[in-house]
Structure 1
């Protein structure tokens, strides 16, 4: 073939600026595109061989090699696949995107960075021009009589094409890196990018640095080492679940996510119909509630990495997990990172949700003790899923566990059955077992347990459950005084009780300097507690919601407080207050202030100024005790 020159068949000189700016969101993606093209070339050759159309002469050593030469500023991608004839180069390289190029230009010429979806235009090879000033192709077809071809383009619309000197079947693509490709002169960057995108490519990937000084032993002899592939050509998720051991699952998790904490358990996805999907989802062990945001699910298409955490495929609540999903049937566009055909993708998402729900149900039913061990780690994920996905809610709601203050795990139904006759479709809970210990103790004296709901998601979770199941309500232990805790006020008429409340209100308003002080006088069965603070569940939830959605700018003083000070008439300190009502007594003020602060402390932390006053007053009271 004589040397040829010509124009790329694209009908516009603006194609390369558009490719560079809008084809892909990440420039490093060209490595994935060129390596996956090399793997495709090998797959095509093997397919032709299976059909009897290509003779491999027993060859089985298929591979893709990436060679960096920092001195020459080149990056080469070499495969021993099907190769191309001159006609194929003209067809697949010179005619960019075939007839789709005009539509491409028409739709994306004037659009900005937010418009990433390109469509099926076959532009993967041209991602090389995002980092290279010049690209060369040296290729030889598997066809015996086809000469080698050399192709060269400097990123404009002109190319050069002539007979090549390559003697072996396959393709070598050389990128002469320009300023935009400076980053990829780093050995670490290239290797890391290969591992990021190509960890599970179906043929061995090798990487070498051509201008790197060879390693030598102490005598100055060059150490020759066998090259190691950077990828796993048969990843665990492609195997049948019954052929995998627990240790293999754990090892795959460690290597893939570089997480050396053992996962709690995993789900092996293996589906062939109505679509092809394989993968493994891991439930990681969480150290703190903040770990829940570190989930990562890697999506692949035929062992080619697409992207992390694509919400169209992975249900949002599952993004708290770690895992790998490979779906060859995904309807991808040229940039692979963006999906088309929402209906099909939704079916994939629904299938994944169902498999996770099935696994949780089987764990609960077949090994409840083991399920309870996992619960504290997986509960944020499960609760988030219940809120976000109605189908997941329907499958899982009955096996949600609640940890009681007695360290047991019960379902909502089991909790209600346990307290039959004491509570009416009501679940008591604590958000801070230490702070609310006094309230827990009072309930326990009446054989009532609370459940612990102390995670940041629990507020939204219980509201969602109440909305779905209107016959269940949640009450924090400090939101009211249960009738179980009260004794009847025998022999006291309503008029007397009102006078007592009025007298105590006057004392506490004066002592606390609070005009809006609200009091409630009760005969509590326990005589150990002088006073308690209660705040209605509705009022507290409203304040918490306002605080959450105002991003910290909410001032609690804007809303009237529903806080009530409940005084226990049986307690000697309250009896003292009633006895000395109407007196102008410094001691009475001290007692009232101390009663209030002690009640607040069992409800919530004191404000800094109030804590200072409480400590000073406590010292004053003890000093008076030893003096008297």
Structure 2
């Protein structure tokens, strides 16, 4: 097949066209970021080549001096960014340039508001990357050849950033990627050496790879006048010699001491390594010395990325060995619950397997991971203590992920537990700002448990009927409404020697001694309702495991309670949504149905002489209890029919 026959025109994904339109019209005040993004991509390409060449030196093709080159042409109105990194195949170009391979794409577009300023921030969270070129260019030409591929197997990609792009197989002598930006007429400010240098020093000075540009040397003269020839005719200057200069510091930022690095340097390095254009929330920079030496520079993003809940997404921590990039998928260096952390870990030495593709399990790796996690937790503890407003923002975005740490990281369970934040019955909004330490400090005299309620929403938790007795007695209850909370409380049974107790499980013991009069009154009520409880249980049959009088209800007529060792109704609903057949509340256990003997409806039920009406009212109360828990009725039509019949009877 000839080269010309391999040229084809393809259409962009709808998402790509939408993103291009948004970037061109929303990032008008951040135009210069295009250069930072393209330089960062070139740096990544060089890192990948350096890693692969550890086991295949031939990929260097005789040129191991990796660098990024910038050039501009005022006459043509172009800027060229080229690298001699790993390069791409035709298939890789089509995969990475023609599509958006982002798990958070749908969430990104769902979050768009139409407000340019707000959407600009969202674009920054999503990552702009290669497409930022179209902020300043009306046509982009990319030519690339994979290291080790034949020179006639390069690929040229070209597009005006609208509906389609072309792919063509071409020849390219050197490996790597060259991107030519044909600038819009209004963007001529970037056709200036000083402007380009200032952008690089601002955004990309920290990149360890040399970024070079041509520089005209001072003019020299062919013939210098001899001594005594003061009036000699001036000689014509020789043509200026073109020399190449490095325009960035080209040293790894993390190898410098903290005193040498400004806050701006730290922020710009984060934007490079995190592919974000917002400043980070906080960071930690530390060097560990001894037999196992390593340096880490780790960041917490200001906002959650759109792929936060993608369990298959790569970690944000890059692993280096003596400044040589090894991998950006070092799962053994950061646990899953800290997957939002971005940055680098640079070790003096680590064992690699024969193919140098993955890390071997070793004590060194375990030590580095443990040290890195402790540094991250320490950073978050300091943020919570010294900058509570920033920590509140962190918790809003990353709180549910941090809760996974209680489940996954048993060694640091106590530290993670202290970082948790909750809503409670003492808060009036969905804001989660109550710590477990706060709760314990406010416990009532004689109270020995930390009480909580789980539900599928804050409103459902806050209005749960199980809270009624706690409100009456002024006992605080934590309101848990994140899906992860059910697993959290399963794995966090105690804190500060206080047992965590669900208000919707088992019998209640509020730690308050009852008077003899109260005990006697309860015994009388129990005896008075004995036959009613028996009749309700006969009516509900296998829907319940037991029917009993409630000590937790003061306003509602009835509620459902799980066995002390059973599964909550909320957990059962979550499991069913995940396709797990539960067969009743609590791992096959049916719920306990509790009734409030002081409620008017229960009094009416007690006095009902008609068995059919008694059965209808009992079923209605049971179904209402399910609904108050956020559950779904097995037969909504039957519920409505019974309720209508009851209402009609009242009207008659």
2:273 aligns to what?
Answer: 256
Q: Is the 8 A contact 1:519 1:565 kept in 2?
A: yes
- Please give the alpha-carbon distance, in whole angstroms, between the structure 2 residues aligned to 1:37 and 1:552: 51
Match of 1:312 in 2: 332
Q: Does 1:479 align with 2:505?
A: yes
CA distance in 2, matches of 1:352, 1:611: 53
Counterpart in 2 of 1:277? 295
**2:432 equivalent to 1:411:** no
Question: Which structure would you say has the larger Rg?
Answer: 1
2:579 to 533, 549, 552: 552
Question: What is the RMSD computed on CA atoms of the aligned residues?
Answer: 4.9
When residues 35 and 545 of structure 1 are mapped into structure 2, their CA distance, relative to the original with a 3 A threshold, is: farther
Alpha carbons of structure 1 residues 335 and 177: separation in structure 2 relative to 1, 3 Å:
farther
Q: Is the 8 A contact 2:51 2:326 kept in 1?
A: no
Contact 2:569 2:629 in 1 (8 A): no
TM-score, reference length from structure 2: 0.57
Q: CA–CA distance in 2 between the matches of 1:239 and 1:519?
A: 69
Please point out which of 295, 320, 326 is paired with 1:300.
Answer: 320
Helix, strand or coil: the match of 1:529?
coil
Superposed, which structure 2 residues align to 1:98-497 within 5 Å?
A: 131-132=148-149, 190-191=176-177, 200-204=207-211, 233-234=250-251, 236-260=253-277, 263-271=280-288, 273-274=290-291, 275-283=293-301, 285-286=303-304, 291=309, 293=311, 294=313, 295-332=315-352, 335-340=355-360, 342-393=362-413, 395-407=415-427, 409-421=433-445, 423-432=447-456, 433-436=458-461, 437-438=463-464, 439-466=466-493, 471-480=497-506, 482=508, 494=523, 497=526
Shift of 1:310: 1.5
Instruction: Report SS of the residue matched to 1:268.
Output: strand
- The one of 586, 591, 602 aligned to 2:617: 591
Q: What is the CA deviation profile of residues 581-610 of structure 1, one whole-angstrom value per residue up to 9, with x for unaligned ones? A: xx3354433322222222221123223x43
Corresponding residue of 2:638: 613
Shift, 1:569, TM fit:
0.8
2:183 maps to none
Deviation of 1:308 (Å) = 1.9
Q: Distance in 2 between matches of 1:419 and 1:205?
A: 65
1:500 equivalent in structure 2: 529
Q: Matches of 2:518 and 2:402 in 1, distance apart?
A: 46
**Distance in 1, Cα, partners of 2:521 & 2:255:** 78
8 Å CA contact retained: 1:405, 1:452: yes
Alignment of 1:519-598 (within 5 A): 519-522=547-550, 526=554, 528-540=555-567, 544=571, 552-557=579-584, 559-580=587-608, 583-598=609-624
The alpha carbon displacement at 1:70 in A equals 11
Q: Secondary structure at the match of 1:419?
A: coil
Q: What secondary structure is seen at the aligned counterpart in 2 of 1:445? A: helix
Specify every segment of 5 or more residues in structure 1 that has no aligned partner in the other structure, as ranges. 1-25, 44-62, 72-127, 134-174, 194-198, 207-225
Q: Is the 8 A contact 1:531 1:595 kept in 2?
A: yes
Summarize the Cα distance change of 1:505–1:435 in structure 2 as closer, same or farther, 3 Å threshold. farther
3-state SS of paired residue (2:320)? strand
Q: Secondary structure at the match of 2:481?
A: coil
CA offset digits 1:172-194 (Å, max 9, x no partner): xxx66599xx999699x95399x
Q: Counterparts of 1:69 and 1:265 in 2: how far apart (Å)?
A: 35
Partners in 2 of 1:369 and 1:70 — Cα distance? 47
Task: Please give the alpha-carbon distance, in whole angstroms, between the structure 2 residues aligned to 1:313 and 1:491.
Answer: 62
Determine the C-alpha separation between the residues in 2 that align with 1:447 and 1:462. Answer: 23
Counterpart residue number, 2:18: none
Residues 447 and 359 of structure 1: is their aligned pair in 2 closer, same or farther, counting only changes over 3 Å?
same
Structure 2: gaps spanning 5 or more residues: 1-47, 67-81, 91-144, 156-166, 180-205, 214-242
Q: For the residues of structure 2 that align with 1:278 and 1:357, how far apart are their CA atoms?
A: 14
Corresponding position of 1:6: none
2:333 is paired with a residue whose SS is: coil
Q: 1:260 to 1:132 in 2, by over 3 A?
A: closer
Offset, 1:539:
0.6
Residues matched between the structures, number: 453
CA distance in 1, matches of 2:332, 2:557: 57
Aligned to 1:509: 538
Q: CA deviation at 1:616?
A: 3.9
CA contact (8 A) 1:532 1:567 kept: yes
Distance 1:399 1:547, change over 3 A: closer
Rounded Cα–Cα distance in structure 1 between residues aligned with 2:247 and 2:641? 68
> Does the CA-based 8 Å contact 1:504-1:577 persist in structure 2?
no
Residues 1:602 and 2:609 aligned together: no
**Contact 2:208/2:252, CA 8 A, preserved across alignment:** no
